[in-house]
Amino acid sequence: MTISPALRWPLPKHDYWSTPFAESLLHHLDLRSGLGILDVACGHGIPAFYLAEHVGPTGTVLAIDASAGQVARARAIQGSHLPWLRFDCMDMRALPPDLPTFERITGNLSVMFFRPDRFKVVEGLVKHLSPGGQLVLTFPSRGTFDSLWRHVDQAMIWQGLINERERFQTYLYERPSIKDAQEWLQQLELERIDVTKYPLEVATGPGREFLHHPLLRGGFLDDVYECFEDQELAEAFMQRISEDTPRFTPLIAQRCVMSGWKATSSSI
Ligand SMILES: C[S@@+](CC[C@H](N)C(=O)[O-])C[C@H]1O[C@@H](n2cnc3c(N)ncnc32)[C@H](O)[C@@H]1O
Protein backbone atom coordinates (compact mmCIF):
# COMPACT_ATOMS: atom_id res chain seq x y z
CA MET A 1 0.00 0.00 0.00
CA THR A 2 1.32 3.47 -0.88
CA ILE A 3 0.73 6.19 1.65
CA SER A 4 0.44 9.62 0.03
CA PRO A 5 2.40 12.36 1.73
CA ALA A 6 0.29 14.75 3.86
CA LEU A 7 -0.93 17.76 1.93
CA ARG A 8 0.61 21.07 2.95
CA TRP A 9 -2.09 23.05 1.10
CA PRO A 10 -5.40 21.23 1.71
CA LEU A 11 -8.73 22.98 1.23
CA PRO A 12 -9.50 24.85 4.47
CA LYS A 13 -11.68 22.66 6.73
CA HIS A 14 -13.36 25.61 8.48
CA ASP A 15 -14.71 27.13 5.25
CA TYR A 16 -18.32 25.96 4.97
CA TRP A 17 -19.03 27.48 1.53
CA SER A 18 -15.95 27.70 -0.74
CA THR A 19 -14.54 24.35 0.41
CA PRO A 20 -17.67 22.24 -0.30
CA PHE A 21 -17.94 23.89 -3.74
CA ALA A 22 -14.24 23.31 -4.39
CA GLU A 23 -14.61 19.66 -3.34
CA SER A 24 -17.27 19.18 -6.00
CA LEU A 25 -15.06 20.96 -8.56
CA LEU A 26 -12.13 18.66 -7.72
CA HIS A 27 -14.41 15.64 -7.98
CA HIS A 28 -14.82 16.45 -11.71
CA LEU A 29 -11.36 17.85 -12.49
CA ASP A 30 -8.76 15.62 -14.10
CA LEU A 31 -5.82 16.91 -12.04
CA ARG A 32 -2.31 15.66 -12.74
CA SER A 33 1.25 16.75 -12.15
CA GLY A 34 2.80 18.96 -14.81
CA LEU A 35 -0.45 20.62 -16.00
CA GLY A 36 -0.82 24.33 -16.85
CA ILE A 37 -3.95 25.67 -15.12
CA LEU A 38 -5.81 28.98 -15.17
CA ASP A 39 -7.96 29.47 -12.04
CA VAL A 40 -10.45 32.34 -12.42
CA ALA A 41 -12.22 34.25 -9.62
CA CYS A 42 -9.52 32.80 -7.38
CA GLY A 43 -10.28 34.93 -4.31
CA HIS A 44 -7.60 34.23 -1.75
CA GLY A 45 -6.69 30.89 -3.27
CA ILE A 46 -9.46 28.27 -3.09
CA PRO A 47 -8.64 25.98 -4.83
CA ALA A 48 -5.49 27.57 -6.40
CA PHE A 49 -3.13 26.46 -3.61
CA TYR A 50 -4.52 22.92 -3.75
CA LEU A 51 -4.13 22.84 -7.55
CA ALA A 52 -0.57 24.17 -7.38
CA GLU A 53 0.49 21.55 -4.87
CA HIS A 54 -0.89 18.83 -7.15
CA VAL A 55 0.56 20.03 -10.46
CA GLY A 56 3.92 20.34 -8.72
CA PRO A 57 7.01 22.24 -9.92
CA THR A 58 6.72 20.88 -13.47
CA GLY A 59 3.30 22.54 -13.84
CA THR A 60 2.01 26.10 -13.51
CA VAL A 61 -1.06 27.75 -12.01
CA LEU A 62 -2.10 31.29 -12.91
CA ALA A 63 -4.80 32.39 -10.46
CA ILE A 64 -6.67 35.60 -11.32
CA ASP A 65 -9.12 37.83 -9.51
CA ALA A 66 -10.53 41.29 -10.26
CA SER A 67 -10.06 42.41 -6.67
CA ALA A 68 -6.60 43.80 -5.85
CA GLY A 69 -7.35 43.14 -2.16
CA GLN A 70 -8.01 39.43 -2.77
CA VAL A 71 -4.84 39.10 -4.87
CA ALA A 72 -2.78 40.82 -2.15
CA ARG A 73 -4.28 38.50 0.48
CA ALA A 74 -3.49 35.43 -1.64
CA ARG A 75 0.09 36.58 -2.22
CA ALA A 76 0.53 37.19 1.51
CA ILE A 77 -0.63 33.62 2.24
CA GLN A 78 1.67 32.27 -0.48
CA GLY A 79 4.84 34.01 0.66
CA SER A 80 7.72 32.25 -1.10
CA HIS A 81 5.94 28.87 -1.33
CA LEU A 82 4.88 27.12 -4.56
CA PRO A 83 6.79 29.47 -6.92
CA TRP A 84 5.03 27.94 -9.97
CA LEU A 85 1.75 29.49 -8.69
CA ARG A 86 1.14 33.15 -9.62
CA PHE A 87 -1.69 35.41 -8.44
CA ASP A 88 -2.60 38.28 -10.79
CA CYS A 89 -5.22 40.99 -10.83
CA MET A 90 -7.25 40.43 -14.01
CA ASP A 91 -10.87 40.61 -15.16
CA MET A 92 -11.93 37.11 -16.23
CA ARG A 93 -14.60 38.65 -18.49
CA ALA A 94 -11.97 40.26 -20.71
CA LEU A 95 -8.83 38.16 -20.80
CA PRO A 96 -5.95 39.75 -22.69
CA PRO A 97 -5.66 38.22 -26.20
CA ASP A 98 -1.96 37.52 -25.63
CA LEU A 99 -2.72 35.32 -22.62
CA PRO A 100 -1.60 31.78 -23.54
CA THR A 101 -3.83 28.72 -23.55
CA PHE A 102 -4.12 26.38 -20.57
CA GLU A 103 -4.69 22.63 -20.26
CA ARG A 104 -7.24 23.18 -17.50
CA ILE A 105 -9.38 26.19 -16.63
CA THR A 106 -11.10 26.18 -13.25
CA GLY A 107 -13.28 28.68 -11.41
CA ASN A 108 -14.81 27.93 -8.03
CA LEU A 109 -17.92 30.01 -7.25
CA SER A 110 -17.31 31.97 -10.41
CA VAL A 111 -20.20 31.75 -12.90
CA MET A 112 -22.53 34.10 -11.00
CA PHE A 113 -20.00 36.90 -11.70
CA PHE A 114 -19.97 36.30 -15.47
CA ARG A 115 -22.16 39.38 -16.02
CA PRO A 116 -23.72 40.78 -18.12
CA ASP A 117 -23.37 38.06 -20.79
CA ARG A 118 -22.48 34.75 -19.18
CA PHE A 119 -22.22 32.80 -22.43
CA LYS A 120 -19.68 35.32 -23.78
CA VAL A 121 -17.51 34.88 -20.69
CA VAL A 122 -17.56 31.08 -20.97
CA GLU A 123 -16.72 31.46 -24.67
CA GLY A 124 -13.81 33.76 -23.77
CA LEU A 125 -12.49 31.14 -21.34
CA VAL A 126 -12.81 28.34 -23.88
CA LYS A 127 -10.67 30.42 -26.30
CA HIS A 128 -7.88 30.14 -23.74
CA LEU A 129 -8.33 26.39 -23.29
CA SER A 130 -5.82 24.21 -25.14
CA PRO A 131 -7.25 21.62 -27.54
CA GLY A 132 -7.94 18.52 -25.44
CA GLY A 133 -8.16 20.67 -22.29
CA GLN A 134 -10.85 20.66 -19.58
CA LEU A 135 -13.00 23.51 -18.24
CA VAL A 136 -14.55 23.05 -14.76
CA LEU A 137 -16.60 25.80 -13.12
CA THR A 138 -18.88 25.83 -10.08
CA PHE A 139 -21.69 28.08 -8.90
CA PRO A 140 -24.81 27.96 -6.72
CA SER A 141 -27.43 27.23 -9.39
CA ARG A 142 -31.05 28.29 -9.55
CA GLY A 143 -32.85 26.27 -6.90
CA THR A 144 -30.40 27.37 -4.20
CA PHE A 145 -32.31 28.39 -1.04
CA ASP A 146 -35.64 28.01 -2.84
CA SER A 147 -37.52 27.40 0.44
CA LEU A 148 -36.41 30.87 1.59
CA TRP A 149 -37.27 32.55 -1.71
CA ARG A 150 -40.77 30.98 -1.68
CA HIS A 151 -41.27 32.35 1.83
CA VAL A 152 -40.02 35.82 0.81
CA ASP A 153 -42.29 35.77 -2.23
CA GLN A 154 -45.36 34.83 -0.16
CA ALA A 155 -44.56 37.53 2.42
CA MET A 156 -44.29 40.12 -0.38
CA ILE A 157 -47.70 39.04 -1.74
CA TRP A 158 -49.35 39.23 1.70
CA GLN A 159 -47.85 42.63 2.36
CA GLY A 160 -48.79 44.02 -1.08
CA LEU A 161 -45.17 44.78 -2.02
CA ILE A 162 -45.84 44.78 -5.75
CA ASN A 163 -42.78 46.66 -7.05
CA GLU A 164 -40.44 44.92 -4.63
CA ARG A 165 -41.82 41.53 -5.73
CA GLU A 166 -41.36 42.40 -9.39
CA ARG A 167 -37.70 43.27 -8.77
CA PHE A 168 -37.33 40.12 -6.66
CA GLN A 169 -38.71 37.93 -9.46
CA THR A 170 -36.28 39.53 -11.92
CA TYR A 171 -33.41 38.79 -9.54
CA LEU A 172 -34.53 35.15 -9.13
CA TYR A 173 -34.89 34.67 -12.87
CA GLU A 174 -31.49 36.21 -13.61
CA ARG A 175 -29.60 33.54 -11.64
CA PRO A 176 -27.78 30.93 -13.77
CA SER A 177 -29.37 27.49 -14.01
CA ILE A 178 -28.10 23.99 -14.72
CA LYS A 179 -29.89 24.15 -18.08
CA ASP A 180 -28.03 27.39 -18.98
CA ALA A 181 -24.71 25.73 -18.15
CA GLN A 182 -25.55 22.68 -20.24
CA GLU A 183 -26.54 24.84 -23.23
CA TRP A 184 -23.41 27.04 -23.08
CA LEU A 185 -21.13 23.98 -23.16
CA GLN A 186 -23.12 22.39 -25.99
CA GLN A 187 -23.08 25.62 -28.03
CA LEU A 188 -19.31 25.77 -27.62
CA GLU A 189 -19.10 22.18 -28.86
CA LEU A 190 -17.29 20.91 -25.81
CA GLU A 191 -17.08 17.15 -25.43
CA ARG A 192 -17.81 14.83 -22.49
CA ILE A 193 -20.08 17.53 -21.03
CA ASP A 194 -21.09 16.89 -17.45
CA VAL A 195 -23.30 19.30 -15.50
CA THR A 196 -24.14 17.96 -12.05
CA LYS A 197 -25.58 19.42 -8.87
CA TYR A 198 -24.84 18.44 -5.30
CA PRO A 199 -27.05 19.64 -2.43
CA LEU A 200 -25.42 21.40 0.50
CA GLU A 201 -27.26 22.21 3.72
CA VAL A 202 -26.49 25.59 5.26
CA ALA A 203 -27.38 25.71 8.96
CA THR A 204 -28.92 28.81 10.51
CA GLY A 205 -30.92 29.84 13.56
CA PRO A 206 -33.48 32.65 13.74
CA GLY A 207 -33.07 36.43 14.19
CA ARG A 208 -29.57 37.93 14.09
CA GLU A 209 -27.99 34.57 13.33
CA PHE A 210 -29.94 34.49 10.07
CA LEU A 211 -29.71 38.20 9.20
CA HIS A 212 -25.95 38.32 9.80
CA HIS A 213 -25.14 34.81 8.61
CA PRO A 214 -21.68 35.03 6.95
CA LEU A 215 -22.85 33.04 3.92
CA LEU A 216 -26.16 34.81 3.46
CA ARG A 217 -25.39 38.45 4.21
CA GLY A 218 -23.11 40.18 1.72
CA GLY A 219 -24.67 38.13 -1.07
CA PHE A 220 -27.97 36.28 -1.10
CA LEU A 221 -29.83 38.39 1.50
CA ASP A 222 -28.46 41.67 0.13
CA ASP A 223 -30.23 40.88 -3.13
CA VAL A 224 -33.56 40.99 -1.24
CA TYR A 225 -32.69 44.31 0.45
CA GLU A 226 -31.85 45.71 -2.99
CA CYS A 227 -35.43 45.05 -4.13
CA PHE A 228 -36.58 47.80 -1.74
CA GLU A 229 -36.25 51.52 -2.38
CA ASP A 230 -37.14 52.14 1.28
CA GLN A 231 -34.36 50.50 3.32
CA GLU A 232 -36.28 50.94 6.61
CA LEU A 233 -39.11 48.91 5.11
CA ALA A 234 -36.53 46.34 3.94
CA GLU A 235 -35.16 46.08 7.51
CA ALA A 236 -38.66 45.56 8.97
CA PHE A 237 -39.53 43.03 6.24
CA MET A 238 -36.35 41.02 6.72
CA GLN A 239 -36.69 41.18 10.53
CA ARG A 240 -40.04 39.38 10.23
CA ILE A 241 -38.58 36.86 7.79
CA SER A 242 -35.74 36.16 10.23
CA GLU A 243 -38.25 35.21 12.95
CA ASP A 244 -39.77 32.57 10.66
CA THR A 245 -36.66 30.41 10.03
CA PRO A 246 -38.38 27.15 11.12
CA ARG A 247 -40.76 27.67 8.20
CA PHE A 248 -38.02 27.68 5.53
CA THR A 249 -35.22 25.58 6.99
CA PRO A 250 -33.31 23.43 6.19
CA LEU A 251 -31.73 25.83 3.70
CA ILE A 252 -30.37 23.86 0.77
CA ALA A 253 -27.85 25.27 -1.71
CA GLN A 254 -27.32 23.53 -5.05
CA ARG A 255 -23.63 23.23 -5.89
CA CYS A 256 -23.55 23.09 -9.67
CA VAL A 257 -20.40 21.81 -11.39
CA MET A 258 -20.12 22.28 -15.15
CA SER A 259 -17.36 20.41 -16.90
CA GLY A 260 -16.46 19.94 -20.55
CA TRP A 261 -13.48 19.08 -22.74
CA LYS A 262 -12.31 20.98 -25.81
CA ALA A 263 -11.98 18.76 -28.86
CA THR A 264 -8.39 18.09 -29.86
CA SER A 265 -9.30 19.40 -33.33
CA SER A 266 -11.30 22.44 -32.11
CA SER A 267 -10.90 25.71 -34.03
CA ILE A 268 -12.57 27.91 -31.33
C1 LIG B 1 -17.30 33.87 -4.25
S2 LIG B 1 -15.65 34.42 -4.52
C3 LIG B 1 -14.85 32.87 -4.85
C4 LIG B 1 -13.38 32.94 -4.53
C5 LIG B 1 -12.66 31.58 -4.51
N6 LIG B 1 -12.61 30.93 -5.79
C7 LIG B 1 -13.28 30.67 -3.47
O8 LIG B 1 -13.79 29.62 -3.85
O9 LIG B 1 -13.26 31.03 -2.28
C10 LIG B 1 -15.73 35.16 -6.10
C11 LIG B 1 -14.50 35.94 -6.51
O12 LIG B 1 -14.71 36.41 -7.84
C13 LIG B 1 -14.03 37.62 -7.96
N14 LIG B 1 -14.55 38.29 -9.15
C15 LIG B 1 -15.77 38.89 -9.32
N16 LIG B 1 -15.87 39.40 -10.56
C17 LIG B 1 -14.69 39.10 -11.19
C18 LIG B 1 -14.19 39.35 -12.50
N19 LIG B 1 -14.91 40.01 -13.40
N20 LIG B 1 -12.95 38.90 -12.82
C21 LIG B 1 -12.21 38.21 -11.91
N22 LIG B 1 -12.63 37.96 -10.65
C23 LIG B 1 -13.86 38.39 -10.29
C24 LIG B 1 -14.31 38.33 -6.65
O25 LIG B 1 -13.37 39.35 -6.40
C26 LIG B 1 -14.21 37.17 -5.67
O27 LIG B 1 -12.91 37.05 -5.14
Span from the CA of 250 to the centroid of ligand 1 (angstroms):
27
- The alpha carbon torsion through 188, 37, 28, 192 (nearest 10 deg) reads 30
Q: What is the pLDDT of residue 2?
A: 53
d(C-alpha 53, C-alpha 9), whole Å: 7
Q: For the domain covering 18-140+176-201+255-261, report its CATH number.
A: 3.40.50.150
d(C-alpha 94, C-alpha 91), whole Å: 6
Q: What is the pLDDT of residue 262?
A: 98
Specify the residue with its C-alpha closest to ligand 1, atom 17: 66
Ligand 1 site residues, Cβ closer than 6 angstroms: 18, 22, 41-43, 46, 64-67, 70, 91-93, 108-109, 113
Which of 29, 92, 99, 120 for a ligand 1 pocket mutation test, highest count of atoms within 8 Å of Cβ? 92
* Tens of each residue's pLDDT in the chain, 268 residues: 455 668 899 999 999 999 999 999 999 999 999 999 999 999 999 999 999 999 999 999 999 999 999 999 999 999 999 999 999 999 999 999 999 999 999 999 999 999 999 999 999 999 999 999 999 999 999 999 999 999 999 999 999 999 999 999 999 999 999 999 999 999 999 999 999 999 999 999 999 999 999 889 878 999 999 999 999 999 999 999 999 999 999 999 999 999 999 999 876 6
Domains of the chain by residue range: 18-140+176-201+255-261, 146-171+204-247
CB count in 10 Å sphere of residue 44: 22
Cis omega before residue 206 (within 30°)?
no
